[in-house]
Amino acid sequence: MAEVVTLDPRPAPMAAALLKGLYMRPSPYGWRSLWKWSRPAEALTERRFLTLVRRSQPDAVLQIGDYGDPGVPFFLYQDLSFGTVERRYEELARYMWLPLDVVKRRRAHQEHLYRRVETVFTMSEWLAADLRQNSCLDPARIRAVGGGMNADVPPDDYRPSSLRHADPGSSSGPDRSRLLFIGRDFFRKGGDLVVDAFCRLRRSADRELSLTLAGPQRWPLPGSIPEGVDFRGEVSLSEAGALYQESDLFVMPSRFEPFGLVFVEALSHGVPCIGRNDFAMPELIRPGENGALVSEDDADRLASTMWSVLQDDGIYQRCDRDSEAIRRKFSWESVAGMMMSDITAVVQP
- Going along the chain from its start, the domains and CATH numbers come out as 13-148+332-347 (3.40.50.2000), 161-329 (3.40.50.2000)
What single-letter amino acid sits at 340? M
Kindly indicate the confidence band of residue 202, based on its pLDDT and cuts at 50, 70 and 90: very high
- For residue 155, the 8-state DSSP code is P
Contacts of 263 (CB under 8 A, 6+ apart): 250, 252, 273, 275, 281, 284, 285
211 versus 91: the higher-pLDDT residue is 211
Look up the pTM and report it: 0.91
What would the mean pLDDT of 30-53 be, rounded to a whole number?
Answer: 92
Please determine, for residue 239, whether its predicted confidence score (pLDDT) is greater than 60.
yes
In total, the chain counts a number of residues equal to 349
Say which range, 38-52, 125-139, 140-154, has the weakest mean pLDDT: 140-154
Please determine, for residue 157, whether its predicted confidence score (pLDDT) is greater than 90.
no
What would the mean pLDDT of 172-194 be, rounded to a whole number?
Answer: 90
What would the mean pLDDT of 194-214 be, rounded to a whole number?
Answer: 95
Kindly indicate the confidence band of residue 42, based on its pLDDT and cuts at 50, 70 and 90: very high
∠ CA 47-75-46, nearest 5°, is 10
- Residue 255 CA to residue 208 CA, distance in Å, equals 28
Of the candidates 137, 92, 98, 97, the one whose C-alpha atom is nearest the C-alpha of residue 117 is 137
Please determine, for residue 160, whether its predicted confidence score (pLDDT) is greater than 80.
no
Kindly indicate the confidence band of residue 196, based on its pLDDT and cuts at 50, 70 and 90: very high
Kindly indicate the confidence band of residue 124, based on its pLDDT and cuts at 50, 70 and 90: very high
Instruction: Return the pLDDT at 267.
Output: 96
What would the mean pLDDT of 156-183 be, rounded to a whole number?
Answer: 71
Instruction: Return the pLDDT at 172.
Output: 47
Say which range, 7-16, 25-34, 104-113, has the weakest mean pLDDT: 25-34
Instruction: Return the pLDDT at 163.
Output: 67
- Residue 204 CA to residue 329 CA, distance in Å, equals 39
Q: What percent helix, strand, coil does the chain show, rounded to 5?
A: 45, 15, 40
- For residue 56, the 8-state DSSP code is H
What would the mean pLDDT of 275-292 be, rounded to a whole number?
Answer: 97
3-class SS of residue 77: strand
CB 248 within 8 A of CB 176: yes
- Residue 281 CA to residue 56 CA, distance in Å, equals 38
Q: Is the dihedral of CA 149, 292, 277, 296 positive or negative?
A: negative
- Residue 148 CA to residue 103 CA, distance in Å, equals 27
CB 106 within 8 A of CB 305: no
What would the mean pLDDT of 100-105 be, rounded to a whole number?
Answer: 95
Contacts of 184 (CB under 8 A, 6+ apart): 215, 216, 234
What is the number of helices (H) and of strands (E) in the chain? 14, 12
CB 340 within 8 A of CB 2: yes
User: Which residues on adjacent β-strands are paired with residue 249?
Assistant: 179
Please determine, for residue 323, whether its predicted confidence score (pLDDT) is greater than 80.
yes
Kindly indicate the confidence band of residue 175, based on its pLDDT and cuts at 50, 70 and 90: confident
Instruction: Return the pLDDT at 171.
Output: 45
- Residue 221 CA to residue 50 CA, distance in Å, equals 44
